[in-house]
Chain A
Amino acid sequence: MRSILAIALRNLRRHKLRTLLSISAIIIAVIIGIFYRSILIAYSESTFENFIQLESGHVRLVDEEYARRERVLSLQNTVDGFAGEGLEAMMATLKAEEAITGILPRLRFPAFYTEGDEMEHMLGWGVDIEGEVEEIDFGRHLAEGRLPESGNREIAFGHSLLDELNRQVGDRITLLYNTSYNSLQGSTFTITGKIDTGLPYFDANIFVTPLDQAQDILDMPDQATELLLFGSNRDQDSSIVSAVSSKLETDGDSGRYQLTSWRDSGGIVQWLMAYQRIIFVVMAGIVFLASLIIINTLMMVIKERKKEIGTMASLGLKDKEIVMLFTCEGALMGILGSVIGAIIGGGLTAYFSVVGLDFTEVMGSMGDSTLIDAVVFPTFSLENLLVAMVLGIIVSTIACIIPARQAAKVEPSEAMRDLK
């Protein structure tokens, strides 16, 4: 075996340029694999986090009817406690559950602003400002001014929306909305802050106001449209669902409220989770494409070395040993390419994980209804490098078995061929 390995290693030096080209293909494939997965991981993680923080929590609790007609943002089917005891009491009961570490009530409602013939539609979020800051560090999105305070008719806008409205922090603005009794009303707010989440969807459409103010203007005391429930981490979702489901059954509200884990929320989340599962197949596919160059190189090598293979066979090398020799030759190229690719790919990923990749222009073309951060910071992880490297080695080695088996078909009598 050692002799075979030594021959394979030395054979690589026989046509240095050809070997270099084959190795380069694997290097490039491994770099692409590492970089691609690191972006996917970063992209998925940021999307999951944004989705959890802004849309679903770890588990989202809404009225069943509200869920069915969510697109119209009905204020008729709200979260108003177990058996109608009120939101505050419900939150106090839920907080006692071990699996739940935080609860964010939200009251979402449509609103609009008119000036002359112009009308700007937007989405209002009545939120527990202190809770949002504590649970999801909402304050980090503040680009200017301060967040609204409960008890005050204050408001903070997404920065694109504020620009669109041609208003500034400190200005006052009157917004129109429908109350829960379906009557058109207007209220004037003081703009205290400008929010920049980095999410075009949020920044162009949404404003936040304290929950008590939203409840007041919409005539919805002690109500919200949804509760976002948080555990110690996002994998606690099933524990939360099971704890709250039992509670709902006990209180006879099991048919009224709907609980949805963040991972069952459909759309981009489930697509990304599925893609994360098949990314290895995609990476293996990329490496296999690169391995075609090694296969081609080995095919040429076998054609050129027919006599040498025949000689080895005449010396008594068995088929499997000839297969091993050529597999080793290809595998060595795969190992070298994979290791170098992992080092370069790791370096590139580490660099971009700090400076980030700006996809602002691409995001622009995708429209504003996405939860993807415009600047992605690829995730550097040794696990990713190791996965790409091992995949590179395994796929290229397996690919080499194809030409290696061709080598074993060379007849030992080829050694005599030139003598006829």
Chain B
Amino acid sequence: MPLLNLKQVTKVYQQGEIKVEALRGIDLEIEKGEFTTVFGPSGSGKTTMLNLIGALDKPTGGTVKINGDSIGKLNKNELALLRRNHIGFIFQSYNLIPVLSAFENISFALRIARKNSKSEEKEKVFNLLKAVGLEGLENRRPAELSGGQKQRVAIARALIKEPKLVLADEPTANLDSDTSHEVMKIMLKMNKELNTTFIFSTHDPLVMDYATRLLELRDGRISKDKIKEPATN
């Protein structure tokens, strides 16, 4: 069974009296462990598709199945539980909680998932901080971290609960080239070690280089679906 299954998915937004069709019949299957990039021009439906795949929104038509669950049939609480247990998010502007330290931002995701004891939680967070190269910075608040460091915290937060799926929306948009490579390498490493599925929405060719599958969206439809070799460095 594929991790993600989209069948004839449509999404229509009502803006006043005008209907805007953001997605127009998407069919897509994504297997566990894929490292996929969705790209396309602004307004092509990338973020809308990511919202649906991330159970942040429901489709107007068609079905979106995540790990076998059709999100159209889930209520708000069930969608929250699905996100809590199975989906990690990485945002362009990091979206860290400013009043929490790096350690707390990461452990918060684990705590609400209530997956571990306190000592296990501490060990897991420190291991992950080490893995993303943030050892020693655990007590810093987001305001005291650089862009790259913040994105690493965001990656660690997305991965700490060992989700089946990680969605990253423009994860390198605010980072310089070197930091972008570092961040992508960390995600690739996690993908390989934990077999976590990553889906990126991006304009950044650097992110596309790392992907093993490229999906191009145009006018709410998948115009290209290509399997490729990832960058080696």
Q: Is the CB of A11 within 8 A of B99?
A: yes
A212-220, A233-241, A411-419 - interface stretch = A411-419
Q: Is the CB of B108 within 8 A of A315?
A: yes
Q: Is the CB of A419 within 8 A of B170?
A: yes
Supposing A10-B100, A14-B98, A419-B170 touch, asked if A315 and B89 sit within 8 A by C-beta, the answer is yes
Q: Is the CB of B91 within 8 A of A413?
A: no
Give the number of A-B contacts (CB < 8 Å).
90
The contact of A412 among B83, B97, B108, B170, by CB within 8 Å, is B83
B220 to chain A, nearest CB (A): 14
Most buried by A among B76, B81, B104, B112: B112
Instruction: Please indicate the chain A residues that have their CB under 8 angstroms from the CB of B108 in the complex.
Output: 3, 7, 315
**How large, as a class, is the contact surface on chain A?**
20 to 34
Whether A255 is near chain B, meaning CB under 8 Å from some CB there, is: no
Q: Is the CB of B77 within 8 A of A319?
A: yes
A261 to chain B, nearest CB (A): 58
The contact of A317 among B47, B85, B112, by CB within 8 Å, is B112
Most buried by A among B50, B89, B100, B201: B89
Q: Is the CB of A412 within 8 A of B84?
A: no
B52 to chain A, nearest CB (A): 10
Supposing A411-B57, A416-B56, A420-B42 touch, asked if A311 and B95 sit within 8 A by C-beta, the answer is yes
Q: Is the CB of B77 within 8 A of A413?
A: no
Query: Closest chain B residue to A420 by CB distance?
Result: B47
What CA separation (Å) do A14 and B141 show in the bound complex?
Answer: 13
Q: Is the CB of A314 within 8 A of B54?
A: yes
Number of interface residues of B (CB under 8 A): 35
A40 to chain B, nearest CB (A): 42
Supposing A316-B113, A419-B170 touch, asked if A413 and B56 sit within 8 A by C-beta, the answer is yes
Query: Closest chain A residue to B141 by CB distance?
Result: A10
Query: Closest chain A residue to B100 by CB distance?
Result: A7
The contact of B76 among A14, A308, A319, by CB within 8 Å, is A319
Whether B51 is near chain A, meaning CB under 8 Å from some CB there, is: yes
Whether A141 is near chain B, meaning CB under 8 Å from some CB there, is: no
Instruction: Please indicate the chain A residues that have their CB under 8 angstroms from the CB of B50 in the complex.
Output: 416
Whether B74 is near chain A, meaning CB under 8 Å from some CB there, is: no
The contact of A413 among B51, B104, B112, by CB within 8 Å, is B51
What CA separation (Å) do A362 and B85 show in the bound complex?
Answer: 68
What CA separation (Å) do A11 and B162 show in the bound complex?
Answer: 28
Query: Closest chain A residue to B93 by CB distance?
Result: A418
CB-CB contacts below 8 Å: A287-334 with B: 307-308, 311-319, 321
CB-CB contacts below 8 Å: A119-150 with B: none
Instruction: Please indicate the chain A residues that have their CB under 8 angstroms from the CB of B81 in the complex.
Output: 316, 318
Q: Is the CB of B56 within 8 A of A321?
A: no
Q: Is the CB of A7 within 8 A of B99?
A: yes
B132 to chain A, nearest CB (A): 18
What CA separation (Å) do A13 and B113 show in the bound complex?
Answer: 27
Supposing A316-B83, A316-B85, A420-B42 touch, asked if A415 and B112 sit within 8 A by C-beta, the answer is no
Supposing A416-B50, A419-B91 touch, asked if A315 and B112 sit within 8 A by C-beta, the answer is yes
B74 to chain A, nearest CB (A): 13
Most buried by A among B56, B83, B111: B56
What CA separation (Å) do A317 and B76 show in the bound complex?
Answer: 11
Instruction: Please indicate the chain B residues that have their CB under 8 angstroms from the CB of A13 in the complex.
Output: 99
Q: Is the CB of A316 within 8 A of B80?
A: yes
What CA separation (Å) do A300 and B173 show in the bound complex?
Answer: 29
Whether B109 is near chain A, meaning CB under 8 Å from some CB there, is: yes
CB-CB contacts below 8 Å: B164-199 with A: 169-170, 173
Known: A11-B99, A411-B57, A412-B83. 18 other contacts (CB 8 A): A3-B111, A3-B112, A7-B97, A308-B97, A311-B89, A315-B108, A316-B81, A316-B82, A316-B109, A317-B112, A318-B81, A319-B77, A412-B80, A415-B91, A416-B47, A418-B92, A418-B93, A420-B42
5 A-B pairs whose Cβ atoms sit less than 8 Å apart in the complex: A14-B98, A314-B89, A315-B157, A319-B80, A419-B93
Could you tell me which A residues sit within 8 Å of B by CB distance? 3, 6-7, 10-11, 13-14, 307-308, 311-319, 321, 411-413, 415-416, 418-420
Ranked 10 nearest A-B pairs via Cβ:
A316-B84, A10-B99, A311-B95, A412-B56, A413-B56, A316-B83, A318-B80, A413-B51, A419-B92, A314-B89
